[in-house]
Structure 1
């Protein structure tokens, strides 16, 4: 294979070749480094990477025994995770020289499974809404989304096959949609956040990016200690709830068209499709999510706010100011609302296996000042439900569009299997 061919492999395809020693870790990494050299000046996905150190790791892996399911796969790590061999700046000048002496739990597990940590990818400021320098790999005049901007862009530009991200509002799903890759946010709490800079205690979730469902299942299975995610047999077609949501009018015409085309394609394949209308109490959770996120960020970033306030962006200061107004009584009420909504949606999932919604309002926004609207993921992040972005073509501006598939809480194994079935069915329809 040529270096270009190697960078086009999915992580799952590359893993199979690496496991049989048909492909060397050195060759795959060398191809990725060539790709980075070619694309990074335009995309700016990386805060820092170390090709020489990574190559030494690759050669050691080629000489030694197979390490695990991620053996020899280059990995980008969002700069919200602590790493023992790279600075961790969390997207803020406050931590410009911060150098942890240990890995975040998720990073340590990936290394132990044979992944090569190539470097740190750009994050927005503390995973909020003030963007870093990263550009959309499909058009550098457009945002890649956030806050996992560098990770999604690095995979979208074929610099690496896999990358780590986190989601508090829409920070995996939206950049995955904008950059045309698969992004998976597992059920809240399944992957340890030890060593990940905290923003919102009840929302922050570790996830990942790849080029297909099998890729993200492979990556997250290691971090969740869930080897069953690497075997996704499905013995029936999924039942799908079609949830246009109360915010349907916020979706662009091209996003609506892609969504409806997906619905028609799946229905034509015999999938049982049922329209789902969210109760007003569930739809109202968009605003609840914002209050929970801001209120918890106000506490999580207390030291930065109190001792380094002059180094915070105006956008973050405004967010923390909103959080300061969230009372203890409101926080208790929010928890009750979330519990009630989970119960209500749990009853609905008796009638369908997946919910289908837009991933974002449309194609990536023009300009780099903002990371896009998290509207279509806020509810599901608040409820902690597993969610996955699937690319479904391009819009009027020639940029990627995505659909979001959501499963019941802690249904990740079955949910990933159903997502894989949907992915394969949609791919077949385009052949």
Structure 2
């Protein structure tokens, strides 16, 4: 038995409170699942009613277990297995199952605390902590049954995807990831197509590309319209370049690849988050499709996180330049090519003397010399702020 602190009338009030909201709990959780599943399909009423009933039953079993001070391993988990079974019948992906489960739990915890009175607040905190103590085991039961029933239905999930999903969500304890080499560092690459609406039939769209890498010890997962690839450090950046080329070819659209290199297996979920934030920054600034190291966008991300009032002041520096298209084009090319005269002039298709003339004009109208390293940084900040404002 676990040492429950909530007791007496406080415990009785907590049990009554949760029991009286059991119907709303089911609605809140199925609504959260709807949000995840609706991206691909409508949740059929019969499945919705079934999942709601299972959630309500599990909630009642959990509160009864808590009331009896029983250890979590004594909790009846048949309802969790049935939930996993229902997800498989819905033809969900594992990413949807994980996302729906996490979203539903967050939704119900938020709902309960919003509805609770002060008299049950401390008990609710302890009950929530009690649930989270077993959350990993509960999720594994759902995932295991989901995978098992998919197999029965003839829809096997490849080992590479199972491992990729586990690592994507930071769940390296998942049995699927048992044989992953923990002594190797991995590089994460997140691929997003210019055609961002890839949820419908996403597995089919990526399948031809994934078939080519199935035998190369690369783990993968589909998440929020993005393909996440996790590959050994030996592949390095050249793999990301090849990924960009192949994906663009197979799906017939340009794409962005953001990478984060040399991560321990326990840090992969954080590396995915870094890639996602980097991609959001690239799109906000209007950067062209291509391969980008997530660390290389840190400067832009820091600038964009600054106080909006400061950003407004900084933008004023380049406003006179923006009003003159050729000078604006020159400044952005100068920054992009890291103040290299030859590379900048070549990208613009102009002579280096023409470039020098434009740089002098920028200096005259802004009072900041782009050829001076001590002021180029400020012009870069201003250009970033202006680009973000233009694209938003």
Greater helix proportion = 2
User: Which TM-score tier does this pair reach, normalised by the shorter chain?
Assistant: under 0.3
When the two structures are superposed, what TM-score results if normalisation uses the length of structure 1?
Answer: 0.25
Higher-RCO chain (CA-CA 8 Å, sequence separation at least 6): 1
